[in-house]
Structure 1
Amino acid sequence: MIGLACVLPLLVGTVLLGGGTELSARTATRTGVVGALATLVLLVVAWSTQAVVDIPWLPSLGLRIHLGLDGISGPLAVLAAAVTAAACLTTWGERPRSGSQATFVGCLLITLAGAVATFAARDALLFVVAFELVLVPMWVLITRFGDERDPQARREAGARFVLYTGLGSTLMLLGVLLLVSSAGTADLQALGAARGEGLSAATQVTIAVLLTLGLAVKVPVWPLHSWLPLAHTTAPTAGSMLLAAVLLKMGTYGLVRLPLATVPDGFATIAPVLAVCGSIGIIWGGLVCLVETDLKRLIAWSSIAHMGFVALALATGSDTGVAAALYANIAHGVISALLFLVVGGLKHQWGDDDLRTPRAALREGAPVTGLLLLVGLAAGLGLPGLAGFWGEFTAVIAALSPAADRSGPLFVGCAVAAAVGAALAAGYSLRVARLVWLGEDHPGGDAAPAAELRRTDLLAGALLALAVLVLGVVPGLLLAVTDPALVGVVTR
């Protein structure tokens, strides 16, 4: 089942790419939705039955195709499949794109295939290969299917995406090769169980630096973040949903599975730097969002701030911190997918997303769309009872009492900065609600009335909003799954 969950979206995506213009837009969209949902079912079955694939890959090098899901990777793989299905659903009924619709949906499914393989990989080098598989279709989504009004911005966003992620991939590969050659195995389970035993302190620190820097580009963590706002602004709605809810989650998952689990002493040495960078990212992203005039870019900057909470929580090194990071990771994936779905639909309807342009009140002409936007904004600011609260609140708590080998005063300062960032999140979220949901005053009455998004968009948004509510009201559902798996990652 786990092998089929990796192969199915890859095969369907490849068929769609080969189909080209011969397939109608509706057929391509239906195929994408069915393929993503089938992958979701396979993942749930494989995860619940603890299905494992372990076959030789490169016997001469001792490498294997080793796949399996646990309480850490399982929720992320399910999230990737669910968001991909929602992203495919948003393309239902759209006018034909400048490129083939089949190519567009095929790229979405190949991205899903790479993400599932990344989360399921139990071999360090297989993890790297699967991670890199995601970058190619994502680049195509940005450069070929991005904002049609600005080809130059598409090219610049694609080039910056390749340069930054290519640098991150190089550093990550060097770290993995050094880890595998030093430890004598590429098995992530064995590496996690050894926890750096037999590796010198200098080797552990070197591996941790390479892995953390490479994955920090993917997350992204300040100051390696500048590729993300442009990529989000240019990417199509479905591409932004996958970029925020899938690609960024792969980076944070890599931080948990590689440096934190395999070289904990080396990671502890550089953890204060990661905590400070995460805290600066929280403040930096919040301040930018207070003045940003491009709505989609604002949501992208808010993602940088939210990822700062994840980085800070991981840097604490405590079981509470790692649990908070994983919860915030899942919560942000659902919230960001919901926000990009609504904002992308509004941008398509308005023709732009400039907040300086007077708009009719969304609550009057499109109450359902407005409600979905409010749910996403409220969850993003950390309102209790919604998904965003538990991960970020617990991240601050964890920073106040980090692991014994962390600097207490420094992490307390980071906790204070994170709390200030949470206040900034409330400020920019309420600003967006005032401008978009309540609308501006229009003396001349020339503002076009708001309209609801398409039914398929509203359906996908309603399902994401329901997930936001469930994760906020019953956090124990996710914690009960992740907590047992964290024992092998955090406990020394």
Structure 2
Amino acid sequence: MLQLLLILPLIGSCLLLLIPENSLENKAKIKNIALSVSLINLILSILLWIQFDSNTSDFQFVYEFSKLSFCHFNIGVDGISLYYVLLTTFITPIALISNFDNINKNVKFFVISFLLLETIQIAVFVVLDLFLFYIFFESVLPILFIIIVVYGSGENRIRSALLFFLYTLAGSLFMLLAVLQIYTYIGSTDFILISLSEISLDSQKVLWLGFFLALAVKTPLWPFTGWLYRAHSDAPLAASILLAGTILKFSTYGLLRVLISFLPDATNYFSPFVQTIAIVTLIYASLATIVQQDTKSLIAYSSVCHMAVVVLGLFSNTIQGIEGAILLSLAHGFVSPALFICVGGVIYDRLHTRTIPYIRGLVTTMPIFTILFFVFTLANTGIPLSLNFIGEQMSLIGIWERNPVASVLGATGIVFSACYSIYLYNRISYGVYSPHLKPLQDVTRREFNVLIALLIPTVILGIFPNVILDSLHLSVSTLLFNLP
């Protein structure tokens, strides 16, 4: 079933190549086929989840293709990777639907790009070979670069695409060097063999720095945050949803799978350094978020703040902190795309501007939108009954056990998030209706359904987090302890 998850988007892409894009009817057919393929993949991933055995930490649904001489194409999922696969298959149809009415030129290339991205993203989370992890980790770059250049908005979209491409590519070169060095040590890049091998502390430190630099750029952590808000500002809505929802989770997964699992001694050695960087990132990004005047830039910077808390949880060296970081990263994968849909979809489609001072009083003509926007704004601040709340609290409690000072400083992010989130909501929703705005239509059925689809898991998993935690306990415990 796991190999079908990887292959199905590719089959859908090949099918779409056969349909000519020469009429409105064919364009609609292309969109519907792509959406259908992504929904079928979502159903398959849910069936995979149902069949998953949470009583073992071993990789499940393993498939091996051993005819490649330079690496082992092994795939499998455990309790950690399972939920990132589910998140990917859930966010992809959301991204396609979000731009359903906006993209009317080069439709075939647009939807095929997102189906290819789905395959690549799933591959990042399921491959069991470090070299292939690097290959798929980097493979999203050229596709996203083209999407931003061709379908993005704004005069600076080429510069934004280049910054995104060059930042992440340059950082990932150090990951490639570390992967090659591991191959010289062990003679293989297979996950299982690496986990069974002994690597000296000095060697671990060098390898750790190479991997961490690549993952810090992708997270992003300070001082590598400059590419993210520019990429979000000039990318089409679907690309922003994918970037915030799943691609930023590559770094979370990489930190778990590579640094914490394969290089534990170096991770323990560098933990105070990482905690310091995460705190600096949190405070810097929070202050930068408060002064933003562009709606998408504000949401993009808020993503940096939440990912900094995720990093604090991951490097807490506690089961509670790591599980909280995973929950928070999943919550961010629901709430941040919803906020991008609100400001970069619903509002931008009607006003064709993202300048905050220009927009006010939307509650007058858009009451349903205002309610949904308010709920997601509260979730972004981490209120109780949301998955964000559970993730933040577990992450901060986990880091408190190791470093109370870092936990207290990390908790300032809750105050900062309330400041910039409520500011954004209050500024554009209330006040005297702007004389520059014509009366605006409330959310359409398509927009309403997409936002509700993101709201449901945010609330349900916030009330019943054990739905995820029960499957996580054993896999996370295995990261920190040698279980028999």
Query: Normalized against structure 1, the TM-score is what?
Result: 0.92
Give the stretch that moved more between structures: 122-131 or 328-337.
122-131
Q: Match of 1:52?
A: 62
Q: Match of 1:32?
A: 34
Give the stretch that moved more between structures: 159-168 or 10-19.
10-19
Query: 2:19 touches 2:30 (CA, 8 Å); kept in 1?
Result: no
Matches within 5 A, 1:329-408: 329-345=329-345, 346-361=347-362, 363-402=363-402
Offset from partner CA, 1:240-279 (integer Å, 9 cap, x none) = 0000111101111011001110010011122222111111
One-letter amino acid of the structure 1 residue matched with residue 21 of structure 2: T
Q: Match of 1:485?
A: 475
Structure 1 residue 432 corresponds to structure 2 residue 435: no
Q: Match of 2:55?
A: none
Query: 2:294 touches 2:354 (CA, 8 Å); kept in 1?
Result: yes
Offset from partner CA, 1:304-326 (integer Å, 9 cap, x none) = 00000011111112211211111
Query: 1:128 touches 1:173 (CA, 8 Å); kept in 2?
Result: yes
Rounded to whole Å, the distance in 1 between the matches of 2:192 and 2:85 is 18
Q: Match of 2:174?
A: 171
Q: Which runs of 5+ in 2 are unaligned?
A: 53-59
Rounded to whole Å, the distance in 2 between the matches of 1:135 and 1:31 is 25
Offset of 1:20 from its aligned partner? 6.6
Specify the SS of the correspondent of 2:198.
coil
Query: 1:16 touches 1:103 (CA, 8 Å); kept in 2?
Result: no
Q: Match of 1:191?
A: 194
Rounded to whole Å, the distance in 2 between the matches of 1:412 and 1:25 is 56
Rounded to whole Å, the distance in 2 between the matches of 1:277 and 1:13 is 41
Rounded to whole Å, the distance in 2 between the matches of 1:179 and 1:478 is 33
Specify the SS of the correspondent of 1:430.
helix
Rounded to whole Å, the distance in 2 between the matches of 1:134 and 1:95 is 20
Query: 1:374 touches 1:433 (CA, 8 Å); kept in 2?
Result: yes
Structure 1 residue 5 corresponds to structure 2 residue 19: no
Offset of 1:14 from its aligned partner? 5.0
Query: 2:76 touches 2:127 (CA, 8 Å); kept in 1?
Result: yes
Specify the SS of the correspondent of 2:72.
strand
Offset of 1:376 from its aligned partner? 1.6
Query: 2:360 touches 2:429 (CA, 8 Å); kept in 1?
Result: no
Give the stretch that moved more between structures: 44-53 or 25-34.
44-53
Structure 1 residue 82 corresponds to structure 2 residue 85: no
Rounded to whole Å, the distance in 1 between the matches of 2:103 and 2:30 is 13
Specify the SS of the correspondent of 2:63.
strand
Specify the SS of the correspondent of 1:221.
coil
Query: 1:29 touches 1:91 (CA, 8 Å); kept in 2?
Result: no
Structure 1 residue 303 corresponds to structure 2 residue 303: yes
One-letter amino acid of the structure 1 residue matched with residue 473 of structure 2: D
CA gap 1:144/1:446 in 2 versus in 1, 3 angstroms: closer
CA gap 1:274/1:54 in 2 versus in 1, 3 angstroms: same
Specify the SS of the correspondent of 2:66.
strand
Offset of 1:446 from its aligned partner? 5.0
Give the stretch that moved more between structures: 42-51 or 72-81.
42-51
Q: Match of 2:164?
A: 161
Specify the SS of the correspondent of 2:100.
coil
Query: 1:201 touches 1:265 (CA, 8 Å); kept in 2?
Result: yes
Q: Match of 2:245?
A: 245
Offset from partner CA, 1:69-106 (integer Å, 9 cap, x none) = 11101111111111111111122233514xx0111111
Q: Match of 1:408?
A: none
**Residue from 427, 432, 440 that aligns with 1:441:** 432
Rounded to whole Å, the distance in 1 between the matches of 2:15 and 2:281 is 41
CA gap 1:347/1:43 in 2 versus in 1, 3 angstroms: same
Matches within 5 A, 1:194-209: 194=196, 197-209=197-209
Query: 1:279 touches 1:308 (CA, 8 Å); kept in 2?
Result: yes
Rounded to whole Å, the distance in 2 between the matches of 1:200 and 1:358 is 58
Rounded to whole Å, the distance in 2 between the matches of 1:140 and 1:489 is 37
Rounded to whole Å, the distance in 1 between the matches of 2:103 and 2:7 is 30
Structure 1 residue 73 corresponds to structure 2 residue 81: yes
**Residue from 145, 150, 175 that aligns with 2:151:** 145
Offset of 1:22 from its aligned partner? 4.1
Give the stretch that moved more between structures: 452-461 or 260-269.
452-461
Offset of 1:396 from its aligned partner? 1.2
Specify the SS of the correspondent of 1:166.
helix
Rounded to whole Å, the distance in 2 between the matches of 1:178 and 1:14 is 37
One-letter amino acid of the structure 2 residue matched with residue 426 of structure 1: A
Rounded to whole Å, the distance in 2 between the matches of 1:213 and 1:19 is 43
One-letter amino acid of the structure 2 residue matched with residue 8 of structure 1: L
Structure 1 residue 107 corresponds to structure 2 residue 78: no
Give the stretch that moved more between structures: 265-274 or 424-433.
265-274
Query: 2:295 touches 2:344 (CA, 8 Å); kept in 1?
Result: no
**Residue from 99, 108, 117 that aligns with 1:91:** 99
Offset of 1:16 from its aligned partner? 3.8
One-letter amino acid of the structure 2 residue matched with residue 412 of structure 1: P
Query: Normalized against structure 2, the TM-score is what?
Result: 0.93
Offset of 1:17 from its aligned partner? 5.9
Rounded to whole Å, the distance in 1 between the matches of 2:86 and 2:437 is 41
Matches within 5 A, 1:442-481: 442=433, 445-481=435-471
Offset from partner CA, 1:354-410 (integer Å, 9 cap, x none) = 11114232x3322222222112211110101111111112111111112xxxxxxxx
Offset of 1:479 from its aligned partner? 0.8
Cα RMSD of the aligned pairs, angstroms, is: 1.8
CA gap 1:4/1:447 in 2 versus in 1, 3 angstroms: same
One-letter amino acid of the structure 2 residue matched with residue 180 of structure 1: Y
Rounded to whole Å, the distance in 2 between the matches of 1:22 and 1:103 is 13
Identity of aligned pairs, percent? Answer: 28
Query: 2:282 touches 2:305 (CA, 8 Å); kept in 1?
Result: yes
One-letter amino acid of the structure 2 residue matched with residue 430 of structure 1: I
Q: Match of 2:137?
A: 131
CA gap 1:58/1:384 in 2 versus in 1, 3 angstroms: same
One-letter amino acid of the structure 1 residue matched with residue 184 of structure 2: S
Specify the SS of the correspondent of 1:157.
helix
